[in-house]
Amino acid sequence: MGEFINPADVPKVKFYTGDEAPCIGTGTFGSDRFTADQIAEAVDGAIKSGYRMFDCAACYGNEPEIGKVFKNAFDEGIVERKDLFIMTKVWNDMHEHVEEACKKSIADLQCDYVDMYYIHWPFPNYHAPKCDVESRNPDSKPFSVEEFMNTYRQCEKLVEDGLTRFIGISNMTIPKLEAVLPLMKIKPVACELEIHPCFQQQELYDYLVAHDIQPVGYMPIGSPMRPERDMCPEDVADLQTPVMQEIAKAHNCHPAIIALKWARQRGEIAIPFSLHNYVSNLKAMTEDPLTEEEMAKIATLEKGNRLVKGQVFLWHGAKDWHDLWDEDGEIVTL
């Protein structure tokens, strides 16, 4: 067994409920580049290195394989169920059947309950796995407060029934949040959103913090291994910017470690995916922090560099992917 980082040494974040969770988790989206077995092997290595938070999703197609790893870890006494913070998400085609979707994920993950259950996308616009970015589903529609709240009410029942401890939301915008937060009986504990040095989403980040909703940042190092279909010529490679290179050199580490340190010191939960950098990622949380000057330099890297544009979720009549993100401050409709 390799080096082990004591989970007790990994800083925690505190939710508005008073409950705590690790400040870093491991993602399980293999970017279409890795098999389910490879992802499961990475989860196994992460657990044995001290990771205790895992970000899963039904649509990633690997929950049964990850579930075997969780069960082995429980059976072998490496961890108890209460030691892990397991997150998963309802996919767009199951917005009307949330309990069924959640129970299937729990069965696949062999974990009895989940700690956080997210609404993966705020609309039920389904697309086939690994489809081309030009693919469009004729049934896709703009965001609907009524439809979203129907799905959210089902998530609230999951909490009441003990299937999940907390509700999460994902890929939201401020206008959408403004529309739905007042309607909720149980406030979401966290919001998962794309965050990396060249796409900091400061306004949305500040909005979440002001409403006691924990930001959870996906693609925290700019996802250089994201699917080919999601790469565009105008995309910026965060880790190759001179600022990130310079700070990494000063700390004698890879720029990816700097991105994770920045995320931690900013206050978000980062969920990087890695096949093997478990220990270095955990150590990034516990040692050699960035200086205030270095944090300020990274703050200047904002370039509006959204990498997950969501084109496949567009509806008939939408102009382009910008319509998904309410960039003019209003929910875009037909």
Catalytically annotated residues:
60
Cβ contact 153:204 at 8 Å: no
Nearest to 332 by CA among 151, 124, 123: 123
Rounded CA-CA distance 111/28 in Å is 16
What is the pairing mode between strands 214-218 and 12-14?
Answer: unpaired
Non-local CB neighbours of 18 within 8 Å, separated by 6+ positions: none
Nearest to 29 by CA among 113, 129, 110: 129
Rounded CA-CA distance 54/102 in Å is 16
Nearest to 56 by CA among 122, 127, 114, 124: 114
- In angstroms, the Cα distances linking 45 to 69, 79, 132, 280 are 10, 13, 32, 13
As given in the structure block, the two tokens for residue 310 are 């969501």
Beta bridge mates, 114: 164
Task: Provide the 8-state DSSP code for 110.
Answer: T
Rg (CA), the chain: 19
- Residue showing tokens 């206050």: 267
Rounded CA-CA distance 70/60 in Å is 17
